[in-house]
């Protein structure tokens, strides 16, 4: 007998829409199975057999995150195929900071009303993020919650698991005075600080198709919805050649909060402000919102989405490896003895 419930549908939950969404997303999920997935889509649990070749003491590493109020930009523009990339990026970029390779990902989508095509579009972005991260999308949950979320809104979160050999876990105690700090370019705002973005630009009441000189011909809406950069491939390429002393994902809290998280006591990061390549969206945001520069660096990535600490003599080679993997990188600072955490000058 076919599964359906008219009573539940009258309460706002259409389980047949859920089944339809699963069917539509299978096309996208299947593309991630080449990275090791061994379970069919729609089962109770996702299965994955990790490749432990060459590992002496494998350690699992996990991370979870969401997209936050950046989702409002997706609602306003009715564009839902990129926020999944943000969700994956926020998770996998965290776990690579300890040297781990992502293995699998699970997503959680909570909707006011299950529109199968919209859900499939969200999952398409999640799957693309997994492909860029070379990990499997082995499962997830789509919850229809009428009366809890507006019909045209949703929330999106995810969970990633990676693996690293114990001897290759990044040990921040090795960070030393004189080490070089390499910055890897971001794609823009990424997925943090959007409550302030929304306030400054009053996005619910402004024309998101508007262009500004600082945005190089792109619309405001396009720039604000640009997906978060995924740094897995360049970092894995680097890990094959050397083990950095520290890796920092510059997310909410900007430079001042994230860089000290991976520094031992007594060490600080001296950032050369003149070496930073700050995209126009940050300059526009600072101007339009009259935001102090200190607050900008304490909220946003300011054009640098990931920082890597290596011995000074390895800096040029590290930059070369990252650039060869397709990302723009340069030395933006050095490690100094100090208790300040971050010094930008």
128/14: higher pLDDT: 128
Where does the pLDDT of residue 27 fall: very low under 50, low under 70, confident under 90, or very high at 90 and above?
A: confident
Q: What is the pLDDT of residue 13?
A: 67
> Rounded CA gap, 168 and 55, in Å?
10
Tell me, yes or no, if the two domains 9-168 and 172-344 fold the same way: no
> Rounded CA gap, 158 and 46, in Å?
14
Tell whether the model's pLDDT for residue 128 goes beyond 80: yes
Tell whether the model's pLDDT for residue 41 goes beyond 70: no
pLDDT tens digits along 181-217 = 999 999 999 999 999 999 999 999 999 999 999 999 9
What is the arithmetic mean of pLDDT over 32-38? 78
Where does the pLDDT of residue 36 fall: very low under 50, low under 70, confident under 90, or very high at 90 and above?
A: confident
Q: What is the pLDDT of residue 25?
A: 81
Contact 157, 107 (CB under 8 A): yes
Q: What is the pLDDT of residue 325?
A: 98
Where does the pLDDT of residue 34 fall: very low under 50, low under 70, confident under 90, or very high at 90 and above?
A: confident
> Rounded CA gap, 312 and 314, in Å?
5
Helix (H) or strand (E) holding 136: strand 136-144
pLDDT tens digits along 77-94 = 999 999 999 999 999 999
pLDDT tens digits along 243-293 = 999 999 999 999 999 999 999 999 999 999 999 999 999 999 999 999 999
> Rounded CA gap, 241 and 298, in Å?
32
- Burial class of residue 313 (count of CB atoms within 10 Å of its CB; 0-12, 13-18, 19+): exposed
Instruction: Determine how many CB atoms are found less than 10 A away from the CB of residue 155.
Output: 17
What is the arithmetic mean of pLDDT over 13-28? 77
Q: What is the pLDDT of residue 12?
A: 67
Tell whether the model's pLDDT for residue 33 goes beyond 70: yes
> Rounded CA gap, 28 and 130, in Å?
10
Task: Give per-residue burial for 180-199: e unless 16+ CB within 10 Å, then b.
Answer: bbbbbbbbbbbbbbbebbbe
pLDDT tens digits along 86-121 = 999 999 999 999 999 999 999 999 999 999 999 999
Query: The domain 9-168: what is its CATH number?
Result: 3.30.1330.10
Whole-number Cα distances in Å, 241 to 21, 174, 249 = 42, 17, 20
Tell whether the model's pLDDT for residue 1 goes beyond 60: no
Q: What is the pLDDT of residue 46?
A: 85
Contact 250, 259 (CB under 8 A): yes
Q: Which residues contact 124 (CB under 8 A, 6 or more apart)?
A: 25, 28, 81, 84
Q: Residue 158: which of 122, 212, 134 has the closest Cα?
A: 122
- Domain 172-344: which topology? Phosphoribosyl-aminoimidazole Synthetase; Chain A, domain 2 (3.90.650)
Mean pLDDT of the chain: 94
136/31: higher pLDDT: 136
Residues, the chain: 345
Q: Residue 326: which of 184, 188, 210 has the closest Cα?
A: 184
Sheet containing strand 246-249, edge to edge, reads: 246-249, 304-310, 180-185, 329-337, 267-271, 342-344
Domain positions in the chain are 9-168, 172-344
Helix (H) or strand (E) holding 320: helix 315-324
Helix (H) or strand (E) holding 224: helix 220-224
The C-alpha angle with vertex 127 and arms to 220 and 161, in degrees rounded to 5, equals: 110
**Local structure of 60: helix, strand or coil:** strand
Alpha helices in 259-314, H assignment, sequence order:
280-289, 293-297
Furthest-apart CA atoms within the chain: distance in Å: 70
Q: What is the DSSP letter of 32?
A: T
């Amino acid at each position: 007998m076919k599964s359906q419930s008219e009573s539940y549908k009258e309460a706002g939950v259409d389980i047949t829409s859920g089944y339809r969404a699963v069917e539509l997303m299978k096309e996208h999920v299947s593309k991630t199975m080449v990275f090791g997935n061994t379970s069919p889509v729609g089962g109770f649990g996702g299965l994955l057999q990790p490749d432990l070749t060459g590992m002496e003491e494998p350690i699992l590493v996990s991370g979870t995150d969401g997209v936050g109020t950046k989702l409002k930009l997706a609602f306003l523009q009715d564009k839902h195929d990129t926020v999944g990339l943000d969700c994956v990026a926020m998770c996998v970029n965290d776990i690579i900071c300890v040297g781990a390779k992502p293995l699998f990902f699970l997503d959680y989508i909570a909707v006011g009303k299950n529109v199968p095509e919209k859900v499939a579009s969200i999952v398409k972005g999640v799957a693309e993020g997994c492909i860029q991260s070379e990990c499997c999308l082995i499962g997830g949950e789509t919850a229809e919650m009428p009366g809890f979320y507006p019909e045209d809104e949703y929330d999106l979160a995810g969970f990633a698991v990676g693996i690293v050999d114990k001897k290759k876990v990044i040990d921040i105690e090795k960070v030393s005075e004189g080490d070089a700090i390499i910055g890897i370019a971001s794609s823009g705002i990424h997925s943090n600080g959007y409550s302030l973005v929304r306030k400054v630009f009053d996005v619910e009441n402004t024309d998101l198709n508007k262009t500004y000189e600082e945005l190089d011909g792109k619309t405001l809406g396009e720039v604000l919805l640009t997906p978060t950069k995924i740094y897995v491939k360049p970092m894995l390429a680097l890990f094959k050649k050397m083990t950095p002393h520290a890796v920092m994902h510059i997310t909410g809290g900007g430079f001042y909060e994230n860089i000290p998280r991976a520094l031992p006591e007594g060490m600080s990061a001296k950032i050369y402000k003149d070496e930073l390549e700050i995209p126009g969206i940050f300059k526009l945001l600072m101007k339009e919102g009259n935001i102090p520069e200190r607050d900008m660096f304490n909220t946003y990535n300011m054009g640098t989405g990931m920082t890597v600490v290596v011995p000074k003599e390895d800096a040029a080679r590290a930059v070369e490896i990252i650039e060869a993997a397709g990302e723009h990188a340069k030395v933006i600072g050095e490690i100094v003895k100090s208790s300040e955490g971050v010094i930008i000058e």
